[in-house]
Amino acid sequence: MRKGITVILLAAVASAASAQYVSLDSCRSMAVRNNKSIRMADAGIAGASYRKKAARAAYLPGIDFTGTYMYNQRQIELLGENAMLPTLKFDPTTGKYNPNILTGPDGIPIKNPQTGQYIPNEVAVIPKEAMAFDTHNVFAGAFTLTQPVYMGGQIRALNQITKYAEQLAVATRNSAVQELIYAVDEAYWQVVSLKEKKKLAQSFVTLVDSLRFNVTAMLRAGVATRSDSLQVEVKYNEACIALTKVDNGLTLSRMALAQICGLPVDTRMELADEELAAASSLPQELNYNMTDVYANRQDLSALRHGIDIARHKARLELGNMLPKIAVVGAYSFSNPNVIHGFEKKFGGGFSVGATLTVPLWHWGGRYNEYKAAQTTTKIAELALADAEEKVQLQVSQAKFSYQEAFKTYTMTLSNMRAANENLRNAEIGFREGVLTTDDVIGAQTAWLKANSERIDAEIGIRLCNVYLSKVLGTLGY
């Protein structure tokens, strides 16, 4: 027997040691840190930041290297046969060079009867082989520098787009975090509610069990009927079943909270607010004005950034209709090269210039793309206006829900005091013999209902306050 007691105590100690005591803020932090959707959103923010830096680089000159190699089956031969070129001779009397042409006895130049051209007296021969170049293996390369001067405003528009895209990614991530925090709070207070209801169910079982004991004793004494005993027995069984259901629901709620926090579902978590009596005071109603709400709502911020992106995309399309100017510099080289004749070695040189591109006529294609982008901007603006109207209604509903929850809580406190007094009077009347078993069971049931409604109302106030903070955009993230 002593050994069995020792085993039970050790198991209780091990269970207490394995439990984690966490606060609401700790649950929020764990959920945000472990949630994969939030981590993907963080990666999206990092990607948007990289794209922003990449767009900024478009202002700076780009340096590229291009290298090529080509094998040619044949070499280049500029002459199909030996070239024979006429020569000139100097005439001292005129101080000029005259063609060296064959003349007849009469001194008249002789023409070729087939071609009709004069026949040179002497020719300079260029051998066919002298104008043949080895181009079997050709190497070439170039270092190119391009500096944009004016790109129709597209570079600036692209930089603005990437800036707002980064802000959009941040706003989207923050909105997702708020949704996650609200889910954590719901799961957290659900556990607290069920823990309180479990204690309430245990107290109810104790109450009914006490009544069962008294009725059994009265039955033995002959002052109670068998029907009274069976009625109390049925109520006791119902109370035990309700306790079992609450206990199972509490276990599942703890699993759900652990899953949202990114922990294994079998993690034992003891919450700092499980004792509602020791919990912090009830939250008070939040003050707000709609201007601040519109500024704080992350989903509205995302829509505003979307409008900015659409507006600059239209500016990007407008740039397709404007001239573009760039300065280009290059160092090119090849082997063989023809800088100094034809040499079988690398040679090259620098070149600098400018390019100008002016769109002239594209059958209205680019103009229509620009107008379509402007239409997208208009759609985004209308979506923002519609969302702001819905937010205003959402805030009003959340405010009324909070006020209703607070009034309900006040009424449940009054009902609970009345139920406690009713139960006390019923128990006294039963002991005095002026009230029946039905009266006591009815008072106990009313007591259970009043206390359960008080728990629901208190948890409801906290959840309504969290929801109101969420729709106001002030929920911490």
The dihedral through the CA atoms of 255, 259, 265, 268 has a sign that is: negative
Of the candidates 313, 288, 40, the one whose C-alpha atom is nearest the C-alpha of residue 172 is 40
Place of tokens 């309180």: 196
Residue 71 C-alpha from the chain's centroid: 51
User: Which domains, and CATH codes, for the chain?
Assistant: 17-59+151-322+359-472 (1.20.1600.10), 78-133 (no CATH)
Indicate the pairing of strand 20-22 with strand 269-271: parallel
Q: Provide the pLDDT for residue 9.
A: 34
Q: How far apart are CA 199 and CA 276, in angstroms?
A: 11
Q: How far apart are CA 454 and CA 414, in angstroms?
A: 9
CB atoms within 10 A of CB 116: 7
Q: Provide the pLDDT for residue 113.
A: 79
Place of tokens 């005259």: 98
Residue 165 structure tokens: 């895209």
The residue ranges of the chain whose pLDDT is under 50 are 1-17, 278-279
Residue 144 structure tokens: 């190119």
Q: Provide the pLDDT for residue 267.
A: 87
Query: For 7-49, what is each residue's pLDDT tens digit?
Result: 333 333 334 345 568 889 999 999 999 999 999 999 999 999 9
Query: For 291-346, what is each residue's pLDDT tens digit?
Result: 999 999 999 999 999 999 999 999 999 999 999 999 999 999 998 888 877 888 89
Contacts of 299 (CB under 8 A, 6+ apart): 171, 175, 387
Q: Provide the pLDDT for residue 390.
A: 95
Q: How far apart are CA 191 and CA 164, in angstroms?
A: 41
Q: Residue 355 — φ and ψ, nearest 5°?
A: -120, 145
pTM (two decimals) = 0.79
DSSP string, 343-363: BSS-EEEEEEEEEEE-----T
Per the document, the length of the chain is: 477
Q: Provide the pLDDT for residue 48.
A: 96
